[in-house]
Chain A
């Protein structure tokens, strides 16, 4: 088996107060660095895990447990303070609604922008353009208008469609599926099932415990920035139900 994602003893800390003016900074330095200039917060505390190629993993946990932070580390948006992250191949992350879209560009232009950020070539995108638009179910007159006029549901549909057609090696999906309506969610699940069949590595974050049992075979539960469970998805869901 080859490993697609390796997270090795990763620590991620955030500073809760971040933008200072130079004046504040200088004063703080001159006054002997007295007092706390910033509070720190440990979002991930020594997390280690590996995901095999073709595996599909549900990442579960309460709000603030560090799930999104972990996905951002895997996609490279954030960098760990300690430990290491490694991935095999190209990663596509649907981490926040509207990530990698620009409000002043049209839907079509955003497909190109988003697709190329996800590592597709211009030719790839052109070849799959019709397929991407069709899957997103965005009507003809909207695809050429600026995406700032889109609803969050439309945003999600387009974003999911681009990512799902970019054939990444590792596909990360954060809670965002909850934004779509029922029929589209169903369609996404079908697409995810297809991708699984094709051997795509998946990491999915969701609060919908029924949904996650359908799409993942393995579950990892985070609590307070630590992994507290890693095993079959039924166990992970059971653990969350028991706690909740």
Chain B
């Protein structure tokens, strides 16, 4: 391509944007896209959003009885159901953001190929939709935690926010990349489903970090610890599980079976997620010019 100065000053090159940096300028359109997405999703469902409260609620009760009581996991991990659910909320959120952003361009093909708007708006709208679906799960989790004697301090609240931000950064980075791939190769979607299936098991959701540490060779520790979703799950444990009464009794002055030196590792995972987002955005921008004609 020739130097941009060959087009006279005052002329802009159509179809070029500053990517994610432009999104705030388009927030009204973004809100319309989010509304549209929710409308499409709850089309024909009379109870609408109510279902998203019922499902996690029932899920939590089933886990409490089946895993906590029948399998006896409660004996190893106090307040097991809070431990499990606070991790699962993160994994679900990750799956929803990553999965939806991957599909977002193809699903909005009609808009992408007929009219120009910054294409990053679609993945970002998917993040908001995922967040709206996270809220009911968080509400259920908070109720269960309060019943278990949850008394969070500032550090715990900060850990929860950190967990959510970490998850969004990493999932959006992946989603931008796979969302662009998905336009060119439709099987990217299936590939992502496979990754998400594994994601639920590789993070310390059903077991504790100490189980991993006893199996994994010490030299590979760091690989597991740098995986952003592992850190997000552990941060959420700090937020919801640690400040419950049974856990406080068992581990009065430590974080128990959680990863040691958590702030350091979480910080490193944060850096990785930001870098990953930059890479995802770069890939997206590279492939973006082909979206309209490939769809």
Q: Which residues of A contact B (CB under 8 A)?
A: 2-3, 6, 8, 14-15, 18-23, 25, 72-79, 82, 84-88, 91, 93, 95-96, 98-100, 102, 104-105, 109, 112-113, 116-117, 121-122
Contact = CB atoms under 8 A, between A and B. Distances in A.
Nearest to B11: A86
B14 A76 contact: yes
A63 B35 CA distance: 38
Most chain B CB within 10 A, of A82, A88, A95, A116, is at: A116
Contact of B114 (A20, A74, A99): A99
A117 B11 contact: no
B85 to A, nearest CB: 33
A242 to B, nearest CB: 33
A121 B28 contact: yes
B46 interface: no
Contacts of B10: 2, 88
Given A19-B185, A88-B10, A116-B28, A79 B36 contact: no
Given A104-B39, A113-B29, A117-B29, A6 B15 contact: no
Contacts of A79: 15, 289
Interface stretch (B1-9, B198-206, B223-231): B1-9
Contacts of A99: 110-111, 114-115
B12 interface: yes
A95 B110 CA distance: 12
Given A74-B14, A88-B12, 8 more contacts: A22-B191, A76-B16, A77-B292, A86-B12, A99-B115, A104-B36, A113-B29, A117-B115
A21 B114 contact: no
A93 B43 CA distance: 30
A109 B11 contact: no
15 contacts: A19-B184, A20-B185, A75-B14, A76-B116, A77-B113, A77-B116, A77-B292, A79-B289, A86-B12, A95-B115, A104-B39, A105-B36, A113-B29, A116-B26, A117-B29
Interface string B262-295: 0000000000000000000000000001001110
B62 interface: no
B66 interface: no
Interface residues of B, number: 39
A98 B39 CA distance: 19
A76 B16 CA distance: 7
A193 B15 CA distance: 28
B114 A112 contact: no
A45 to B, nearest CB: 16
B40 interface: yes
A76 B6 contact: no
Interface in B161-189: 184-188
Interface in B19-47: 26, 28-29, 32-33, 35-36, 39-40, 43
Contact of A72 (B39, B111, B292): B292
A99 B35 CA distance: 18
A135 to B, nearest CB: 20
A3 B8 contact: yes
Contacts of B191: 22
A112 B32 contact: yes
A91 B115 CA distance: 11
A15 B30 CA distance: 32
A217 B15 CA distance: 28
B28 A19 contact: no
B261 interface: no
Contacts of B7: 6, 8, 84, 86
Contacts of A3: 8, 11
Contacts of A2: 10
B197 interface: no
Nearest to A113: B32
Contacts of A76: 14-16, 116
B13 interface: yes
Given A19-B185, A104-B43, A6 B32 contact: no
